Amino acid sequence: MMKKSFERRSLSALLVVLSTLTLTLSGCSSKKAEDSGTVANEQTESASQEDGSQAEDAQAQSSTEDLSKIVVGIPQDIDSMDPHMATSAGSREVLFNVFEGLVKPDSDGNLLPAVASDYTISDDGKVYTFTLRDGVKFHDGSEVTAEDVKYSIERNAGTDGTDPLISAFSNIESVEIADEKTIVMTLKESNTEFLAYMTVAIIPASNTDTEGNPIGTGPYKFVSRSPQENIVLESFDDYWGEKAYIKDVTLKIEANSDSVVMDLEGGSIDMYARVTSNQVSQLSDNFAVYEGTMNLVQALYLNNNVEPFNNELVRQALCYAIDPQTIMDFVSDGKGVEIGSSMFPSFGKYFDASLNDTYNQDIDKAKELLAEAGYPNGFDFTITVPSNYTQHVDTAQVLVEEFKEIGVNATIQEVEWNSWLSDVYTNREFESTVIGVDASTLTAYALLSRFRSDASNNFINFNNADYDAAFDAAVSATDDAEKVEKYKECEKILSESAANVYIQDLPEFVVLNKKFTGYTFYPLYAQDFAKIKPAQ
């Protein structure tokens, strides 16, 4: 079906709306990812070339400054210091520096030994054996033991009778200590992807206050937290791996996105990830801008349990009403990567670009579907958006204008992040929301498990028996080709049934004061402060 461009009067109206909002609502920009294997490399190479030319200038500027400290702005406070309880991607990317699992991802998406020095996986994908690395210490100085590893895994598996904190861990049959350096984990059903879940944080079994006194094994240790103000980290001298370059890292909560440029230029923060393209244009040449993608699925997420979104025809009509490229043109200078289901390009073999064409903009088709569904005159609904993420607010603004073309009136409700987490995500009290959903691990399972009908994090209340069957088949498949095929079947079901209105993997700008260098992108939500160093 031919893709239609935005009609002239709608485009003009949108220009007026977005021009008016330029000072407060704008999007990020990014280099479009061509394939998952080169995303991080291309981004890092581009930034490194720029860093080389900046180092000399930065050296003079920073010669009298204390470069052992850096202040990083973050858009919201984290929801938990307990790595097993943290919900949001913004929390996980901070805790990435404090906690580690038996393995950990690198910037190319490879899983490398961490607390474990080695591992083996049985041919049937059911038995995982880990050898603990010698001399790995927790931040309190104690050495990691097999008992700590067993405790950490079983805590997430809910072996005490509670629900698993990680749904995939319900597949764990047993965690056994073979000897003081060997852990053997046996699964109920084969799962050749399970290694990616061994990034789960290893914490001391003896720590009874993980929230108030978080103790991990990462390159940074927790110092203090002032809720809604800051989190302070300090480099860990006894870290088993490569030591961090910067001693002190302060995470400053920047709840007001309009203050980011002022705070960067004023020196109260040195770095901020995911700034908008408009903010980038306002910055002086004291800052390096690193360009990447966010590695998430941005969509208009629909509550499939509420009217009219419990009607598949209505959901499909909304999909036909939008043009992702128009959204990217207005929100992020045409950058970003269009996606047609709950998978983004960094996942390589699992990403199906053909699903981008499931719904090409067709206003007449959208109106026909609405009439067939019993809404010939359209309807009204609310888009709930977290106010601290301007790229999602911007996207919602464009969607409002696009939906007007089919007689649907959408109203934007901006809420604080904590309210979004409780009302939308946890309690599912919403009609629709614009947000980006990331993967907690480098597995297709992590992105797609939330849409199984009985998943605890299925916040859109999607319920499809064919999806459940395809998903279960993907998880149990030991043949890689079969696993990929079944996961792609899941993606196709999400797309064709219009579970959500899929848009893009958002572009990302990271701004770093030129007195520092070394920012590195990862193919999942992570901010690796240990790689940042003085530019001299």
Name residue, tokens 């977290």. 386
Lowest mean pLDDT among 26-40, 303-317, 325-339: 26-40
Give all strands (DSSP E) within 17-126, no chain letters: 69-74, 103-105, 111-113, 116-121
Confidence of residue 167 (pLDDT cuts 50, 70, 90): confident
As a whole number of angstroms, the distance between CA 94 and CA 320 comes to: 38
Q: Which residue has the higher pLDDT, 29 or 458?
A: 458
Q: For the segment 395-438, what is each residue's pLDDT rounded down to a tens digit?
A: 999 999 999 999 999 999 999 998 999 999 999 999 999 999 98
Q: For the segment 12-59, what is each residue's pLDDT rounded down to a tens digit?
A: 344 333 333 332 333 333 333 222 222 233 343 344 444 444 444 544
In this prediction the pTM is: 0.77
- Percent of the chain past pLDDT 90, that is, above it, reads 73
- Would you say 483 and 254 are in contact if contact means Cβ atoms under 8 Å apart? no
- Percent of the chain past pLDDT 70, that is, above it, reads 88
Most confidently modeled of 17-26, 83-92, 244-253, 276-285?
A: 244-253
Residue 144 has pLDDT above 60, yes or no: yes
Using only C-alpha atoms, the chain has a radius of gyration, in whole angstroms, of: 23
Residue 314 has pLDDT above 90, yes or no: yes
Looking at residue 531, its pLDDT comes to 97
Which residues neighbour 161 within 8 Å (Cβ) at sequence distance 6 or greater? none
- Would you say 495 and 355 are in contact if contact means Cβ atoms under 8 Å apart? yes
Confidence of residue 348 (pLDDT cuts 50, 70, 90): confident
Please name every residue paired with 271 in a beta bridge, in sequence order, or none if there are none.
Answer: 72, 512
Segment 161-182 mean pLDDT: 92
Name residue, tokens 């910067």. 246
Looking at residue 27, its pLDDT comes to 31
Class of the domain covering 8-30+295-505? alpha beta
Alpha helices in 267-416 (DSSP H): 277-281, 312-321, 324-332, 363-373, 390-404
Q: For the segment 473-510, what is each residue's pLDDT rounded down to a tens digit?
A: 998 888 889 999 999 999 999 999 999 999 999 988 99
Tokens representing residue 271 in the block: 């770095």
Tokens representing residue 212 in the block: 């108030």
Class of the domain covering 39-79+218-293+509-534? alpha beta
Q: For the segment 203-251, what is each residue's pLDDT rounded down to a tens digit?
A: 999 999 999 999 999 999 999 999 999 999 999 999 999 999 999 999 9
Tell me the C-alpha to C-alpha distance, in Å, between residue 157 and each of 122, 175, 200. 21, 10, 11
Q: Which H helix or E strand runs over 532?
A: none
CATH of 99-199, one of 3.90.76.10, 3.40.50.2000, 3.40.50.300, 1.20.140.10: 3.90.76.10
Looking at residue 176, its pLDDT comes to 97
Looking at residue 1, its pLDDT comes to 40
Looking at residue 159, its pLDDT comes to 83
Q: Which residue has the higher pLDDT, 261 or 30?
A: 261
Confidence of residue 255 (pLDDT cuts 50, 70, 90): confident
For the chain, the structural domain boundaries read: 8-30+295-505, 39-79+218-293+509-534, 99-199
Looking at residue 64, its pLDDT comes to 58
